[in-house]
Amino acid sequence: MTLVTDQLTSGTVAAYLAARPHLAGPVDPASIVSVDEVGDGNLNLVFIVKDAAGNGVVVKQSLPHVRVDPTWPLTRERAAREAVVLGAHERIDPAHVPGFYGFDADALALSIEDLSDHSVWRGELNAGRLHPYAAAQLGEYVGAVGFATSVFGTPGPERRRRIAEATNPELSEITEDLVFTEPYVDHEHNGWLDANADDVRELRADRAFVREMGLAKQRFQESTQSLMHGDLHTGSVFVRAEGESVRAFDSEFGTYGPTGFDLGAVWANLVIAAARAHVLGRTADAETLLRLPVQLVDAFEAEFRRRWPDRVDPRVYGDEVLEHTLAQVRSDAAVYGAAKAVRRIVGFSKVADILTLPAPKQAEAARLVLRAARRLGTARLDDSDPRTLTALTVELLG
């Protein structure tokens, strides 16, 4: 049974680390000079701790509720789920996640590498700094963890144990509700501008699209294809132009699921960033952003193919299995991209890309995102080439 210690505050973190020096990473707990709570996500407390020598560590602790809605209770065990995912992903692809210094099961707190010299990709995109190298690096990350945690990368019995260890029922249910269901029904979490009412009505009346969302939800619920990040939007990615460093953080929604879900999350948020750029008159940026999913998916495939010679059981996993798997992931990426784009426009947890636009431009950008989503959402196995799909979304820029 987990013993939950007190909720940390900026005033108690230094003493907390002094009593647990193994969780301080490079920080000297005896010379801590600052502790700043910087959490700006939907769920947790995040402290950046610095010592006199300028070393830093991040301590992230779960709250017993959704941070942005204290009336919404949420298991604090999500921190333990994130520890499992981050630990596994760090072992597979340390270049693309923050360093993981340890997990305190009593306090439900993770100690993570301080990446204060990086910036959150969403903020950078909103400021007009694209960091286009990030798309291919995220593809490589999803390819690495997608292969290594799949049936091709991990022997059967070990994999079944890892699937059990990474089960994440409460946060998976949030994704199931917020991404796949709520945008298509009347729900208090939903909201849109009056100017988008017809767009939402048309989307919900698009039976082919809504059917695909149902099938996408079914695959999300049934699949244990690989250990996903689970929430790979541009607000979960740090970028730094120097050295073109890219790190995916905040994997508390991670669990085993369809590999294309993570690619779709990136794709959706690139579409959203492109819609913002377009309505602000940054047409070239919009086109660049809409084309980045090609680099994302190509890099994913390249990494998956690179690892393929090392697969478990090549006796039955021949190259036709590889081609079928990659086609399925491409198709899933597009459909999940559609689902993730719609939820940010219609459902809970809207994004700054749209919210910080003036109202008439918000409506214009939201319309563009919904139209792009409808094109991506009906992609099937045989027309899921990201080049074709990208061309379809670029067309919408007119």
- Rank residues 66 and 151 by Cβ distance to ligand SR1 and give the closer one: 66
Residue nearest ligand SR1 (C-beta atom): 42
Residue 334 CB, shortest distance to Mg ion, in Å, is: 23
| Helix intervals (H) in the chain | 13-18, 78-92, 121-126, 133-148, 156-165, 169-175, 197-205, 207-222, 260-279, 283-307, 319-346, 352-355, 359-377, 386-395
Residue 365 CB, shortest distance to ligand SR1, in Å, is: 19
- Rank residues 154 and 168 by Cβ distance to ligand SR1 and give the closer one: 168
- Name the residues that contact Mg ion, by CB under 5 A: 41, 250
- 100 interacts with, out of ligand SR1, Mg ion, none, CB within 5 to 8 A per kind: none
Query: Do 145 and 152 form a contact (C-beta atoms < 8 A)?
Result: no
Residue 92 CB, shortest distance to Mg ion, in Å, is: 21
- 174 interacts with, out of Mg ion, ligand SR1, none, CB within 5 to 8 A per kind: ligand SR1
Residue 236 CB, shortest distance to Mg ion, in Å, is: 6
- 178 interacts with, out of ligand SR1, Mg ion, none, CB within 5 to 8 A per kind: ligand SR1
Query: Do 85 and 230 form a contact (C-beta atoms < 8 A)?
Result: yes
In DSSP notation, 91-145 reads HH-GGGS--EEEEETTTTEEEEE--TTSEEHHHHHHTT---THHHHHHHHHHHHH
Query: Do 61 and 79 form a contact (C-beta atoms < 8 A)?
Result: yes
Residue 340 CB, shortest distance to ligand SR1, in Å, is: 8
Query: Do 374 and 203 form a contact (C-beta atoms < 8 A)?
Result: yes
- Rank residues 119 and 288 by Cβ distance to ligand SR1 and give the closer one: 119
Residue 75 CB, shortest distance to ligand SR1, in Å, is: 12
- Name the residues that contact ligand SR1, by CB under 6 A: 42-43, 66, 174-175, 178, 231, 253, 348-349
Q: Residues with Cβ < 8 Å from 158, sequence gap 6 or more?
A: none
- Rank residues 101 and 253 by Cβ distance to ligand SR1 and give the closer one: 253
Query: Do 96 and 248 form a contact (C-beta atoms < 8 A)?
Result: yes
- Rank residues 43 and 272 by Cβ distance to ligand SR1 and give the closer one: 43
Q: Residues with Cβ < 8 Å from 183, sequence gap 6 or more?
A: 190, 342, 343, 346, 347
- 349 interacts with, out of ligand SR1, Mg ion, none, CB within 5 to 8 A per kind: ligand SR1
- Rank residues 62 and 390 by Cβ distance to Mg ion and give the closer one: 62
